[in-house]
Each structure stands twice: as C-alpha cells, then as structure tokens.
A and B are shown apart, each in its own frame.
Chain A
Amino acid sequence: MFIRLVYESFRRQTRRKLLVAVAVTLGAAVATAMIAVATDIGDKINRELQSYGANLVVTPQDDTLEVQIGSVNLKPSGGAYLNEADLPKIKGIFWRNNITAFTPELPVNANLGDSNVTLLGTYFSKKLTFGKEDFTTGARGTFPWWKVQGEWPADDSSDVLVGERLAAERNIDPGQNLQLNGKQYRVVGILSTGGIEDHEIVAPLFIAQELLGKPRAVDKIFVSARTKPEDAFARRNPDQMTPADRDRWYCSAYPESIAYQIQEVIPHSHAEQIRQVQQNEGNILSRVEGLMLLITLAALFTSGLAVSAAMATAMFERREEIGLMKALGAGQFMLSAIFISESVLLGCAGGLVGFVAGSLLARKLGAAVFGSAIAVAPVVLPLVLGIAVLVSFIGSAAAIRMGVKYDPVHALRGIV
C-alpha cells in the first residue's frame, strides 16, 4: 500500500513532480559543474601559468659573478659550466611529469663586423632521449612569449635568429648571412622577446659552444615546472626534517623540492626558483582557486535554498491530499513517511540526472575556456546525491510537518 501510494503519486501528478524535479536537477547540475570547476581550475590555471615561462633556474655551483648591464655582458670567461650531457636527466627526477620543458643557455661574446655582440646558444625545440622516453624541449616551451618573424632555426643547423633591436640597428634581414668570428651563419628569422634577447643573436647551442671552444658547456638551464604554491612547510630545510616529513616534502610538487631533485641529478649545480615567476604564479593560482571555491560554496548555498523553496511550495500545494489521507485515518508517521520518501526519491532522481548534466556542463566549459575537458571525479556523485536528497528533505520537511499537524477539516474545506 505504501509503495503503491508513492508510485501513484508519481504517476498521477506528473506536472507537479516535474517542476520540482526540474528544480532539483538544475540545482544538482550546477552543484556538479561548480564542484568540478573548483577542483580542476587549479590544474587548468597552472597550465596557463606556463605562459610566464620558466620558474626554476639551474646554474653551476661555483659560478663566477654575473656582470651584465642590459645586453652588455662583462662576465669574465673561465667560470664553471654545466655539462650538456646531464640535461636529459632532468626528465628522470621524481616529479618528471611536472617538468613541461627546459632550455639550456650559453651566452658568448662574438665579433660581428668590427664590434662585439652577445650570441646566446640555446635549444629551440630539440629532441632528447632519457631512458626509453623521447621528448622535445627548448625555448619554444620555456619562453612562450618569444616571437619569430621568419623561421625558427633547426637545432642542428648553422641558422641563427637576430634580436629585433640588433637587427634594426645593423639593418639585418632574414635570409642574409652573418660573419661571426670569421664564420658564416644564415639569419632565418628576427626574434622579438621584449627582453635582452632583442639585442642578441640567438643560435643553436652547439654554435655557442664552438665559439667558446668548450664543447658540452652550458651556463644556465631554465626549467618550466608545474608546481604547487609554496607554503611554510615547503620552505623548511629538508636536511633537518624527520624521515617521514622529508618523504612528504620530497613527494610534494613544491618548487623547493623540484629544485632539490634537479640538483641531485645534475652534478655541481645549484637550482633555484625564479621568484618573479614562481611567487606570483603561486599567488595568482591560490587567488583564482580560492575565488572559484567561494563561488562554488555560494552557488551550493543559493541553489540549495532555491530548490528548498520550490520543494516547499510543491508540498504546500498538497494540503488537501494530506487532509484527505488524515481523514481516512493515516497516522502522522505514515504521512511523513510517504511524503518524505517522495521527496527523497525526487532528490535521488534529480541528483542523478543533474550529475550527468553537470558533468556535461563542466566538460563543455573546460573545452570552451581551456581547450581541454574538465573531468568530474566519481566521488562527486555521492556528494551531489547526498546534497540533493538533503536539500529536498529540508525543503519538504517544514511543509510536511505543517501539513501533518493540520486539522483535516480545514484542509478539506480549503481554508488555510
């Protein structure tokens, strides 16, 4: 009888049920989509933050002091260098999957005609192998704001780029040949970076090594890594931690721990975060994450209230039904049980449909804004179902309580 009552109520009052079901479904959809967005936005924004370029820099441990003003490099030669052969090992550290790209740099002085210019040797998009893994890395990954008018040189060619300011000063055009220290190089493109590279010649790394006379020498490595914002724990010294803390520190994607792991694989190196990029990225990341989290909370709260209100109205509408049941002898417990199971069923159904709709919304949003779908974690399903059932229950509870207390005579006569 109980089941039949509930079943018939759903079968016969489709219109009323539909409205409430729509409200619950929409609420659940928005909750799902917002939870998905709030949990995934950090990852998405972190990816976008890569457009600020490298956030870690690796230098030789006993490097001589850098003496550079603007584009004029007065650093005395004869300092320490890193070994190019060690570079692929960066892809072998614990957080290798968080390393999106790295680029070696080697600035050398070269004679262009009768004056001195800086030639910067680097990778553009070089194929490297570590173990069984092949990957491509270079300036195009770590410095996404570099723009080339013309073509990018191949990493094994003797083609070079000329910074736009230098090119303007010396009237250099793509296609022209340059004589550097007596050797001919072809200019394939004009480079614009908005930084000091605009005054330099940028060439494949081996050219700089040849000019310097030091094969395999690398002065600096810029590393782009996806990190998690640094906190007080991240700043602690790993050598003074308990083994358990140290493991936790080592296995967190802090800039400090990634730098530490790079130092471990590259001999005689010093890895450090580039604070301008790292600190601000962390800051922006936590702001955007916090914003979406708070908006999600507010959205959950408001959609909960709105659904409750819709639920309550739908229940008030059924006073007469309650009155009739009471007049026929239904007890308070029985009545509450019927109406509560109705609303819980509605909550479940709406929550389920809403979850599916919300996942689609999140996917669409991710694809539209970030070009990659936002996946909804399966754990969100029970969460959303729970919220939907709870909200429907709360929304109907007040109305049911009032209906149950109601004198059947009044209800049947239509007096409120």
Chain B
Amino acid sequence: MKVRRKGPSMFLRMLWRAAVLRKRTALSALLAITVAAAAATAMLNLFVDVQAKLRKEFRGFGANIVMEAKAGESFSAADLTRIASTVGNRALAVPFGYAVAHTESGESVVVAGTDLDLVRRLNPWWSVSSWPAHTDDALVGVTAAPVVTPNNSRFALSYQGRALQLTPAGTVRTGAGEASRVYISLNDFESWTGLQPSVVEIAAYGSATEVTSLLSTLQRNLPNADVHPVRQVTEGEANILSKTRSTLLWSSVFIISTAALCVLATLTGWLFDRRRDFAIMKAIGASDRTIALFISGEAAVLAFIGGLFGYLAGIGIAAWIGRANFNAAVSPRLDVLPPVLIGSIAVTLLATLLPLRLLRQIQPAMILRGE
C-alpha cells in the first residue's frame, strides 16, 4: 500500500472543519473583517476620487487662466487655433472680443463677441433667461437692458458708424460687470466691428501643478500674449481642497483604525473561544508551532475572504456616496484592493499574535478539565 502524504490535505481539512463547525463565531469574525475592509475600501476610494470630483465642482467658478493680447493687439485666427491645440482637452478656452458701441440714444455700452455655447459651459453661474440661438441674437445684461432696449424689442447699435440690428434673446444676471454688457456671437462681432478677440478665458482642469504647467506652455507657445492665473479662483480652490482633503484623511484614519481594532477584539474573542480545541490538539501531540501555523492559516483565510467581500462592499458604499453627493459614481479603483487585502491579513495576524502567546502557556489538562 502506498503511503499517502496526509500533511497538506489534513491541514486543509482541519481548516475547513473548523470553519464549518464553529460557523457562528467564524461568521462574526468574518463579518468584522468584511466591515473593516469595506470601510477601508470606501474611504480610500473616496479619498482618491473626491479630489477629482471637487475639482470639477470648483471649475464652476469659471476661468482660472486669462490670456490677454498686448495693448492694441488681438488674437488672430491662427493664434486661436494654436491656443486650442495647446489646451486640447485639458481645458476649456473661450475667446472674447470687446468694443464700445453706441445706442440709438447715444449712450456707450460694451459689446462682447464670444462663443456663447462655450461661455455657457465656462460660467455656469450666469443666470440667463434664455440663451441666443440665431445670428443677430444678443444676450443683454440686466443693467444694460433698460438702456439698449427699453421695451425689449429689436435694437440697433453702432460702432464707428456701422450699425448692427440685434434681437434681444435673453438677459444675463451675474452681479458683476457682465450685467452691463451686450453679448453677441463672435462671427457677428467680427464682421460688424472688424475686431478680433483680445482676451481668452481658460478653465483648466486638473491639479494646481497641471494648471501651472498649462499656463507656462501657453506662455511659451504664444510669447506675445500675456498669460496669468486668476488668483482669486486658484488660491481659494487650493485652500478649500487642502482643508477638505485633510478632514477626509483624518476621518479615514479614525474610521479605519476603529474598524481594525474591532477586528482585533473580535478575533481575540474568537481564538479564546477555541482554547479547548487547541488544548486537544496539544494533548494529542501538536507542537506549539503547528498550532500557531494552523491558527495563522485559518486567520489568513478568513482575512482574505473578508477582505475580498469588504472590498466589494466598500466599492458599493463609495459609489453610493459619489452618486448621492456628486451625481457621478466614484469609479472603483483596483489599486485599492492590494492594500485592503494586505491590511486585513496583517490586522488578523496581529490579532492572533496576542492570544498565541497565551495559548503557548496552555496546560491541556487544565483547559480540558474546564478550569
């Protein structure tokens, strides 16, 4: 008869039987690990993703970079193309041309020519009654409206003797200078005044370093323009982001360490509960090392399963928070999985270390007698 090597299969069987027979305690240990891993996954996922989400919200403030042509100059079509190709999809670049026109009653008003579809994306805080859709439509600032079109009908503006008939499509309210201007499409503006855009407002996405690098690239590619950050917007953003980030970091530390300590408490209880099993193993000849290996193996398996389940649950929690708060799911990050798994296993092994020392001192006879 062949001698079968019973080592590994016996070990696995013991692990399996232990899990099945002690399923209630094993289950609550597993639950604790799962919960801890879920909390850790959710917090790590959020921590990485929330910054990107908040940055998107901060872009609601509008441009964080402004390019101005040197006094008396303007951006040619070629310049605008170069700007567009430089920013690519890293930013939203909106050209503005300005001219002082006169109303029929002779009052001066600033007319701005721009791409209104882009402005709508650039400045979502503009309160606009209705956006212009046709040529010769104008978006009139609420302060300018009573001056240029007192009875909200078609009106004429003249620039250096050339007149332009415009239809007021809607009004814009901002609480700032925009409210005293008239906005028309860049095409209308250029053919009417013969002027080119003199300002390009750029909302650059991404971190402060990315914005700064885009700024210097723009300055390099268009040496004639004057490129500068909108300090009001960039500094406020940096300030709030770093505070939110730190709050989130501290909260993560609190939550994850609590969950980990609960795992410690649960596992310690679980192991003490099984001291009789270990006493029997010891009585029938298992060495301290075998028992330690057995316990650690069991704990590691529990930790692995709990970590995996916890990761899935944590992704769910993070996604829910993302959807509920930012209307966009927090995308699951695979790179969070290894630290969560390793963390779970480390915490569980740590939890077994403490009782192990006590278990070494077990006198099988005493435990089996129930003392």
* Residue ranges of A at the interface with B (Cβ–Cβ < 8 Å): 16, 19-20, 22-23, 26-27, 29-30, 33-34, 37, 41, 44-45, 48-49, 51-53, 56-57, 63, 65-70, 74, 76, 143-145, 147, 165, 192-195, 272-280, 283-284, 287-288, 290-292, 294-295, 298-299, 302-303, 305-310, 312-314, 316-317, 320, 361, 365, 368-370, 399, 402, 414, 416
Tell me how many residues of B have a C-beta within 8 Å of chain A. 90
Closest 8 A-B residue pairs measured CB to CB? A194-B231, A306-B262, A313-B269, A309-B32, A279-B125, A290-B325, A66-B180, A274-B175
Complex contacts, A192 vs chain B, CB 8 Å: 231
A121 and B160 CA atoms in complex are apart in Å by 33
A283 and B59 CA atoms in complex are apart in Å by 11
A313 CB contact (under 8 Å) in B28, B235, B255, B326: B28
A100 smallest CB distance to B (angstroms): 14
* Residue ranges of B at the interface with A (Cβ–Cβ < 8 Å): 21-22, 24-25, 28-29, 31-32, 35-36, 38-39, 42-43, 46, 50, 53-54, 57-58, 60-62, 66, 68, 98-100, 107-110, 123-127, 143-144, 147, 173-177, 180, 198-199, 226, 228-236, 239-240, 243-244, 246-248, 250-251, 254-255, 257-259, 261-263, 265-266, 268-270, 272-273, 276, 317, 320-321, 324-326, 370
Pairs A–B under 8 Å by Cβ, sample size 8: A51-B235, A69-B100, A70-B68, A194-B229, A291-B321, A313-B270, A399-B24, A416-B24
If A26-B258, A65-B144, A65-B180 touch, whether A295 touches B62 (CB-CB below 8 Å) is no
Complex contacts, A399 vs chain B, CB 8 Å: 24
A362 smallest CB distance to B (angstroms): 10
Complex contacts, A274 vs chain B, CB 8 Å: 174-176
Complex contacts, B58 vs chain A, CB 8 Å: 280, 284
A74 CB contact (under 8 Å) in B54, B60, B100, B127: B100
A194 and B230 CA atoms in complex are apart in Å by 5
Interchain CB contact under 8 A, A65 and B125 = no
Residue of A nearest to B30 (CB): A309
A38 and B108 CA atoms in complex are apart in Å by 51
Complex contacts, A291 vs chain B, CB 8 Å: 46, 50, 244, 248, 321, 325-326
A284 and B325 CA atoms in complex are apart in Å by 11
Interchain CB contact under 8 A, A51 and B251 = no
A310 and B259 CA atoms in complex are apart in Å by 11
A370 smallest CB distance to B (angstroms): 6
Complex contacts, B324 vs chain A, CB 8 Å: 290, 294
Interchain CB contact under 8 A, A370 and B243 = yes
A307 and B258 CA atoms in complex are apart in Å by 9
Interchain CB contact under 8 A, B60 and A70 = no
Complex contacts, B248 vs chain A, CB 8 Å: 291, 295
If A23-B262, A30-B254 touch, whether A302 touches B35 (CB-CB below 8 Å) is yes
A144 and B233 CA atoms in complex are apart in Å by 11
Interchain CB contact under 8 A, B39 and A275 = no
If A65-B147, A302-B35 touch, whether A52 touches B321 (CB-CB below 8 Å) is no
Interchain CB contact under 8 A, B21 and A416 = yes
If A303-B255, A305-B31, A365-B250 touch, whether A67 touches B108 (CB-CB below 8 Å) is yes
Residue of B nearest to A415 (CB): B21
Complex contacts, A307 vs chain B, CB 8 Å: 262
Interchain CB contact under 8 A, B175 and A57 = yes
Residue of A nearest to B358 (CB): A15
A368 and B242 CA atoms in complex are apart in Å by 12
Interchain CB contact under 8 A, A275 and B175 = yes
A264 and B183 CA atoms in complex are apart in Å by 32
If A70-B199, A193-B231 touch, whether A310 touches B269 (CB-CB below 8 Å) is yes
A177 smallest CB distance to B (angstroms): 25
If A275-B174, A295-B46, A414-B276 touch, whether A145 touches B259 (CB-CB below 8 Å) is no
Residue of A nearest to B180 (CB): A66
Residue of A nearest to B21 (CB): A416
Interchain CB contact under 8 A, B29 and A309 = yes
If A26-B261, A287-B54, A292-B251 touch, whether A275 touches B244 (CB-CB below 8 Å) is no
Complex contacts, B125 vs chain A, CB 8 Å: 275-276, 278-280
Residue of B nearest to A75 (CB): B108
A368 and B168 CA atoms in complex are apart in Å by 53
Complex contacts, A41 vs chain B, CB 8 Å: 247
Interchain CB contact under 8 A, A302 and B228 = no
Interchain CB contact under 8 A, B258 and A284 = no
If A26-B261, A51-B239, A306-B36 touch, whether A299 touches B251 (CB-CB below 8 Å) is yes
B253 smallest CB distance to A (angstroms): 10
Complex contacts, A143 vs chain B, CB 8 Å: 232
B258 CB contact (under 8 Å) in A272, A288, A298, A306: A306
- Most-contacted residue by chain A among B29, B57, B236, B259 (CB, 10 A): B236
Interchain CB contact under 8 A, A369 and B250 = yes
B78 smallest CB distance to A (angstroms): 22
Complex contacts, A309 vs chain B, CB 8 Å: 28-29, 31-32, 35, 262, 266
